[in-house]
Amino acid sequence: MKQSEPHILVIFGASGDLTKRKLIPALYELHTQQFLPEKFAVLGVSRTNLPDDVFRTKMKEFLPQQPQLQESVDAFLEHLYYQKLSTSDAVEYPVLKARLGELGKSLSIPENYIFYLSTPPNLYQIIPESLATVGLNDKSNGFKRLIIEKPFGTDIKSAQALNKNLLNYFDEDQLYRIDHYLGKETVQNMLVTRFSNGIFEPIWNHNFIHHIEITSAETLGVEDRGGYYDHSGAMRDMVQNHLMQVVGLVAMEPPVIIEADAIRNEILKVFQSLRPIKETEVEKFVIRGQYTQSHIGKELVKGYREESGVDDHSRTETFLAIKFFIDNFRWAGVPFYIRTGKKLPARVTEVVIHFKNTPHHLFGNQAGTEPVSNQLVLRIQPDEGILLKIGMKVPGAGFRVQTVNMNFHYNELSDVYLPSAYGRLLLDCMQGDATLYARGDAVEKAWEFVQPILNAWQNNPDIPIYGYPAGTWGPEVTDDLMDDGLWRFPCKNLAHDGEYCEL
User: Across the strands, what pairs with 44?
Assistant: 11, 82
Q: What is the dihedral of CA 138, 159, 274, 218, to 10 degrees?
A: 100
d(CA 290, CA 310): 12
- SS3 state of residue 390: strand
Other Cβ atoms within 10 Å of 71 Cβ, number:
9
Q: By C-alpha distance, which of 367, 318, 373 is closest to 342? A: 318
For 219-254, give the secondary structure using H, E and C: CCCCCCCHHHHCCCHHHHHHHHHHHHHHHHHHHCCC
Q: Are 179 and 245 in contact (CB under 8 A)?
A: yes
Please give, one letter per residue, the 3-state secondary structure of 289-349: EEEECEEECCEEECCHHHCCCCCCCCCCCCEEEEEEEECCCCCCCCEEEEEEECCCCCCEE
Q: Is 486 exposed, middle or buried (0-12, 13-18, 19+ CB in 10 A)?
A: exposed
List beta partners, residue 355: 209
Q: How far apart are CA 492 and CA 348, in angstroms?
A: 7
- d(CA 246, CA 243) in angstroms, rounded, equals 5
| 210 tagged catalytic | no
Give DSSP secondary structure letters for 123-135: GTTHHHHHHHHTT
DSSP string over 343-380: S-S--EEEEEEEEPPPSS-TTTTSTTPPPP--EEEEEE
CA quadruple 240, 243, 244, 246: dihedral, nearest 10: 160
Residue type, 394: V
Residue 469 main-chain phi, psi, to 5 deg? -60, 135
Rg (CA), the chain: 24
The Cα 247–Cα 338 span in angstroms is: 9
Catalytic entry in 242, 313, 361, 409? 242
Backbone angles phi, psi at 140, to 5 degrees: -75, -25
Catalytic residues: 242
